[in-house]
Amino acid sequence: AGSWRPTGRGLMPRSLPALSMKSPRILHATCKFRPAGPGTNVIDGGIVPSAINDEEITVKQKLTSMPKRLEAGGVCIQANDWGELNVARIRFPKGADATPLLKGLPQDLCQCPHWGTVLSGSIHVRYADGSEETVHAGDVYYWPPGHTVWVDEDYEAVEFSPSGPMCEVIDHLNSKLGN
């Protein structure tokens, strides 16, 4: 109905916007872009169509083969930008706390929204309003801008975020870690 069409895999958008070379994400140093051939682009190893009309496309990559965008002290963020969507494998070791690394961002909190699922472990989240929750293995979540996280046990998740804000957060974390 409307902007969605049925396919063999469920509903797919009828069309998606073309990837713009003027996108702040494309201009950002950590987000690598190169043409992959007629009608496609490669961003950090993921293939993204430059425009989608009425044809179905898929983007696929092994979770373990995504490029490492941050690695320090057992924390590892492997991430790829597919169009305006960042797909990330996030791993934190027991005792990791993002709070000190977020200092310098607005409210000293992560300003990127995230949607994800916890594969193993659990993670504590504190929001800008002071409320807290714990997300466990098997849970799906949405965290709005304005949060921090810490873990009491090894943690792994798959997360989806807007590419531009996620690049900004990863760059900030890397600068705090001296990477």
Per-residue pLDDT of the chain (179 residues; tens, 9 = 90+): 444 545 444 444 444 444 333 333 333 334 443 344 444 444 444 544 444 444 555 678 888 889 999 999 999 999 999 889 999 999 999 999 999 999 999 999 999 999 999 999 999 999 999 999 999 999 999 999 999 999 999 999 999 999 999 999 999 999 998 87
Alpha helices in 12-161, H assignment, sequence order: 24-27
Identity (one letter) of the amino acid at 113? P
**Which residues fall within 8 angstroms of residue 166, CB to CB, at 6 or more apart?**
79, 81, 86, 88, 112
Distances (CA, A) of 31 to 52, 91, 162: 22, 20, 13
Q: Give, in degrees to the nearest 5, the angle at Cα 62 between 172 and 31.
A: 30
The model's pTM is: 0.69
Q: What is the pLDDT of residues 29-47, one digit of tens each?
A: 344 433 444 444 444 445 4
> Cβ–Cβ contacts within 10 Å for residue 115, how many?
13
Quote the percentage of the chain above a pLDDT of 70.
68
> What distance in Å separates the CA atoms of residue 137 and residue 132, rounded to the nearest whole number?
17
